[in-house]
Amino acid sequence: MPQRKSEPDRIRELEDALEETERHIAEMRAERDQAFELVEQMKEHVSDVDALIDSWIEAFEMQLSEDGKRTRDALPESIKKILADAVALQKQAKGLGKK
């Protein structure tokens, strides 16, 4: 028949088990807090990347096509205008040279 432990021994075992459990809980809380911090950092990163992509969409005057992909003209309208102005100036300069 197993020998029963004395009450002080049993109390000491239970206190040790309680301390170990409290240490384990503290470790788990620290891991949880680190995970929450990582999630926040990842959210910030995704937000920054979304803003960057949005700036590219705006800068390159991209449109959402019917198939859900972003497309753009070969050249944005602002660049097309600059090229048209340059061609007009060249034609004007050539016309001045013929006189």
**pLDDT for position 64:** 82
Over residues 4-46, the pLDDT tens digits come to: 889 999 999 999 999 999 999 999 999 999 999 999 999 999 9
* Tokens of residue 82, six digits: 């600059």
- Residue 93: the pLDDT is 86
| This model's pTM is above 0.95 | no
Q: How far apart are CA 7 and CA 48, in angstroms?
A: 61
| Domain ranges (residues) in the chain | 1-59, 72-99
DSSP 19-68: HHHHHHHHHHHHHHHHHHHHHHHHHHHHHHHHHHHHHHHHHTT-EE-TTS
Tens digits of residue pLDDT in 43-96:
999 999 999 999 998 888 888 878 888 887 666 677 888 989 999 999 888 887
Characterize the bridge pairing of strands 63-64 and 70-71: antiparallel
